[in-house]
Amino acid sequence: MKKWKYYKKIFAYFKEKKFLIFIYLLTSFGITGINMLDPLISARTLEAITKINFHNMLLFSILLVVCRFVSNLISYLNKVSSRKIQDDVELKIKEDISKELFNLEISNFDQKGTGFFAERVNGEASSLAGIFTYLRYNLVGFLSSLGVLIYIFYLNIYLGLYFLIFSFVFFYLNIRRTKRWEVERKTSNEMYEKYSSNFNELIRGIKDIKVLNLKEALIKKTLKDQRAIKKYNYESRMRDEKHWFLEDILRSLYELFFIILCIILIKNGLLNGANMLVLYMYRGRATEFINEIGGIYRNYKEVNISMERIYEVIGGEKYPKDKYGDIKITDFLGELEFKNVFFGYDKNQVLKGINFKIKAGETIGIVGKSGAGKTTIFNLINKLYTPEKGTILLDNININDLTEESIRENISTITQDPYIFNMSIKENLKIVNPKITDEEIIEKCKLCKLNEYIDSLDHKYDTLVGENGVILSGGLKQRLAIARALVKNSKIIMLDEATSSLDNETQEHIHDSIRKIRKDYTILIIAHRLSTVIDCDKIMVIDKGKVVGFDTHDNLMKTNKVYQKLYQKELQ
């Protein structure tokens, strides 16, 4: 029942291609008919040659050329239609999977890695869309071979039975091979997904790998994984070779027994030389009838595997999806409240009943030891994860009741190493707000003390920044990320240790940018250095997953022991 549900979804992709499917099926039957004629005409041509009948030699040779010309023409139309169907369907499947990937909970990527899902997008979509390519060969081959077998029975029932018996022998061998292949395919997929995920991680961390001198160690690990995959695939291919070796022996015996049987039938007056010649031309095609059924069965299994792997991502329950409500905020103020919020990663409880309320337009510093739960608070505000207990309110509305658009458009997070796209500076800003004018972009960049630097570049705002902003310093990337948040017009801007690795001068530039915009936005700043949040409206102190202080710097210094220790440690 579950598989039928998958098939209904797959067929929906092909519905829009009705005309192309009609052309494909029509040409498939055309090829089948011509393929049945080809051996017959070839046999008649050989018969005319042996009898030195020049008229028939010329006639059948011309018919053979015409037959093959028409076959090639129809085959061309068949290939074009099936390729067009496959390409369009593959693109649509990849589009749907890509959309669904962005709807998956972040926890899925934490557990599996990005390479795991990338393989589902690329490999399985191609395999599933290729169903028409498989069918093009199997269907045409099946219909042609079925027609040939019927014609053989018409010519000689004894040889027809002989061909049918051997066909079932080959079919049995193919079914056994397909069952083994199905298990091997699943195992190979799992191995390759794990390798792909690990390899993607290596590529992303290539700078750190070089700096830490881990190149040799990680290359050895990668090669070890590759060798394991290669060994498994090699063993699988060797099993295939044994199968083909056995089948080749059987085919040789099949050919020998065919000749012996023909001799017996001719001697007993049950077969003439002309029909034997035709049957000899058909001998290879006769057994393909069952082989094509085996091919269809294998492709059916291939499609099943691909469908299961794709629909685990699209519409499946194995990988949880983000859930949003239907309330859309049209005039977001920027108020934020946590009510008794609990959250943990696996068995590690991070937040233990967090409570706080932030008014619109306030600038709040968040401090605490590493692992206290500061970044987790930001992750929950961004709805990257869902609390185990408690409620998060944005403008007094439960975050779970809001649309994705309401959350994403109104909240921006700037990390210690913000992601900058491999585009121009202008494109990096316009990507979050395509309607913004060049004048507005310049205005936002001036607020972030970025315009002067951009003007010094040869190509100004059209300068390409490279992968992840490689040509920009850490401070410039931070300011560009802040400018992007302003261009996006997010009412809540969150900075996660955004200045912790910067020098004092650059850090001051960033905080000067923040001071210029703070009156118009709700700003949350996670800080390692307490000196960077002293002038915030309030400072939230997190300790062991709880809010243990929420006041101004002066008041916390008087009343909060945890904050006092953090401050004294920084002075030391």
For residue range 177-193, list pLDDT tens digits in order.
Answer: 888 887 887 788 778 77
For the residues of 195-231, what is the DSSP string, one character each?
Answer: HHHHHHHHHHTHHHHHHTT-HHHHHHHHHHHHHHHHH
In the three-class reduction of DSSP (H, G, I as helix; E, B as strand; rest coil), residue 361 is classed as coil
Residues 199, 203, 208, 211, Cα dihedral to 10°: 100
Q: Residue 286 pLDDT > 70, yes or no?
A: no
Is the separation of the CB atoms in 40 and 144 below 8 Å? no
Average pLDDT on 127-135 reads: 67
Query: Residue 492 and residue 381: Cα distance in Å, rounded?
Result: 10
Place of tokens 């055309």: 30
Percent of the chain at pLDDT > 90 equals: 9
Provide the token pair at 254.
């099949």
Q: Residue 92 pLDDT > 90, yes or no?
A: no
Q: What is the side-by-side order of every strand in the sheet holding 363-368?
A: 411-414, 492-496, 522-526, 363-368, 538-543, 546-551
Segments in 360-488 forming alpha helices (H):
374-381, 404-410, 425-430, 438-447, 451-455, 474-488
In the three-class reduction of DSSP (H, G, I as helix; E, B as strand; rest coil), residue 522 is classed as strand
Query: Residue 261 and residue 397: Cα distance in Å, rounded?
Result: 85
Query: Residue 420 and residue 478: Cα distance in Å, rounded?
Result: 10
Query: Residue 500 and residue 472: Cα distance in Å, rounded?
Result: 17
More confident call, 456 vs 447: 456
Query: Residue 202 and residue 199: Cα distance in Å, rounded?
Result: 5
pLDDT class of 335 with cuts at 50, 70, 90:
very high
Angle between helix 504-517 and helix 474-488 axes, rounded to 10 deg: 10
Q: 294-308, 385-399, 419-433: lowest mean pLDDT where?
A: 294-308
Cβ neighbours for 547, distance < 8 A, ≥ 6 positions apart: 354, 355, 356, 540, 541
More confident call, 477 vs 212: 477
pLDDT at 397: 93
For residue range 393-433, list pLDDT tens digits in order.
Answer: 999 999 999 998 888 888 888 887 788 888 888 988 888 88
Instruction: Compute φ and ψ for 522, nearest 5 degrees.
Output: -90, 120
pLDDT class of 339 with cuts at 50, 70, 90:
very high
Instruction: Compute φ and ψ for 388, nearest 5 degrees.
Output: -75, -35
Average pLDDT on 462-485 reads: 81
Average pLDDT on 465-486 reads: 80
pLDDT at 392: 93
CA 110, 116, 122, 124 dihedral sign is negative
How would you classify the pairing of strands 348-358 and 397-398? unpaired
Place of tokens 């001998």: 283
Rg (CA), the chain: 35
- Say how many residues make up the chain: 572
More confident call, 205 vs 480: 480
Is the separation of the CB atoms in 204 and 180 below 8 Å? no
pLDDT at 123: 67
Report the mean per-residue pLDDT for the chain: 81
Rounded to two decimals, the pTM is: 0.65
List domains and CATH numbers for the chain: 2-311 (1.20.1560.10), 336-571 (3.40.50.300)
Query: Residue 302 and residue 186: Cα distance in Å, rounded?
Result: 10
Identify residue 336 by its one-letter amino acid code: L
In 3D space, the residue among 548, 545, 517, 513 whose CA is nearest the CA of residue 532 turns out to be 513
Q: Residue 1 pLDDT > 60, yes or no?
A: no
In the three-class reduction of DSSP (H, G, I as helix; E, B as strand; rest coil), residue 116 is classed as helix
Average pLDDT on 95-109 reads: 75
